[in-house]
Chain A
Amino acid sequence: MKNVVILDYGLGNLFSVLQAFKEIGVNAELTDDPEKLALADAAILPGVGAFGHAMKELESKKIIEPLLAFAKSGKPLLGICLGMQLLMDKSEEFGEHLGLGLIQGSVKKFPMEYNHQKVRVPHMGWSSIHSSIKKHPSMVDVKDGTDVYFVHSYYVELAQPEVNQLTWSEYAGFRYTSSLVNGNIWAYQFHPEKSGKAGLQLYKNWAQHFQL
Chain B
Amino acid sequence: MVMPKIRVIPRLDIKGPNLVKGIHLEGLRVLGDPAAYARHYYQEGADELFYMDVVASLFERNSLSDIIEKTAREIFIPLTVGGGIRTVEDIKKVLRAGADKVCVNTGAIKNPAFIKHAAELFGSSTIVAAIECIKQPDGRYFAFIDNGREETGLEVVVWAQKLQELGVGEIVVTSVDREGTGEGIDAQLIQSIASAVNVPVIAHGGIGKPQDAVEAVKAGASAVAVASVLHYEALMNGKVGREASKIEGNTRFLQENRNYKKITPCGLNDLKQTLQSSGFQVREIYS
A residues lining the B interface (CB < 8 Å): 11-13, 15-16, 19-20, 23, 48-50, 112, 115, 117-118, 120-128, 142, 145-147, 149, 151-153, 170-173, 191, 193-201
In Å, the complex CA distance between A112 and B197 comes to: 11
In Å, the complex CA distance between A197 and B284 comes to: 12
Beyond A15-B95, A120-B198, 16 extra complex contacts between A and B, CB < 8 Å: A12-B122, A15-B96, A19-B72, A48-B122, A48-B126, A50-B120, A117-B2, A120-B4, A125-B4, A125-B222, A146-B286, A147-B286, A149-B47, A170-B2, A197-B286, A198-B286
Q: Size range of the interface on B?
A: 35 or more
| B92 CB–A CB distance under 8 Å | yes
In Å, the complex CA distance between A206 and B69 comes to: 26
Across the interface, A149 reaches (CB within 8 A) one of B78, B96, B123, B126, namely B78
Residue of B1, B45, B100 most packed against chain A (CB within 10 A)? B100
Number of A-B contacts (CB under 8 A): 123
B5 and A147 contacting across the interface, CB-CB below 8 Å: yes
A125 and B199 contacting across the interface, CB-CB below 8 Å: no
Q: Which residue of B lies closest to A117 (CB)?
A: B1
| B16 CB–A CB distance under 8 Å | no
Across the interface, B125 reaches (CB within 8 A) one of A120, A122, A145, namely A122
- With contacts A16-B98, A50-B120, A153-B124 taken as known, whether A125 is within 8 angstroms of B76 at the C-beta atoms is no
Binary CB contact string for chain B from 78 to 97 against chain A (1 if under 8 A, 0 otherwise): 10000000000000100111
Binary CB contact string for chain B from 270 to 284 against chain A (1 if under 8 A, 0 otherwise): 000000000000011
- With contacts A16-B76, A126-B283 taken as known, whether A11 is within 8 angstroms of B200 at the C-beta atoms is no
Residue of A23, A112, A151, A172 most packed against chain B (CB within 10 A)? A151
**9 A-B residue contacts at CB 8 Å?**
A12-B95, A48-B123, A49-B121, A50-B123, A118-B198, A120-B199, A172-B3, A200-B76, A201-B286
Closest CB pairs A-B (n = 8): A173-B2, A49-B123, A198-B286, A126-B283, A151-B125, A147-B283, A15-B98, A122-B125
| B176 CB–A CB distance under 8 Å | no
- With contacts A11-B95, A12-B95, A112-B198 taken as known, whether A19 is within 8 angstroms of B73 at the C-beta atoms is yes
Binary CB contact string for chain B from 120 to 163 against chain A (1 if under 8 A, 0 otherwise): 11111110000000000000000000000000000000000000
| B185 CB–A CB distance under 8 Å | no
Smallest distance from the beta carbon of A44 to chain B beta carbons, Å? 16
- With contacts A12-B95, A120-B200, A127-B5 taken as known, whether A152 is within 8 angstroms of B125 at the C-beta atoms is yes
In Å, the complex CA distance between A50 and B73 comes to: 27
Main secondary structure of the interface of A (DSSP, over half): mixed
Q: Which residue of B lies closest to A171 (CB)?
A: B4
Smallest distance from the beta carbon of B87 to chain A beta carbons, Å? 14
Q: Write out the residue numbers on chain A whose beta carbons fall within 8 Å of the beta carbon of B120.
A: 50
Q: Write out the residue numbers on chain A whose beta carbons fall within 8 Å of the beta carbon of B125.
A: 48, 122, 124, 151-153
| B114 CB–A CB distance under 8 Å | no
Smallest distance from the beta carbon of A64 to chain B beta carbons, Å? 21
Q: Write out the residue numbers on chain A whose beta carbons fall within 8 Å of the beta carbon of B210.
A: none
Binary CB contact string for chain B from 50 to 81 against chain A (1 if under 8 A, 0 otherwise): 00000000000000000000001100111000
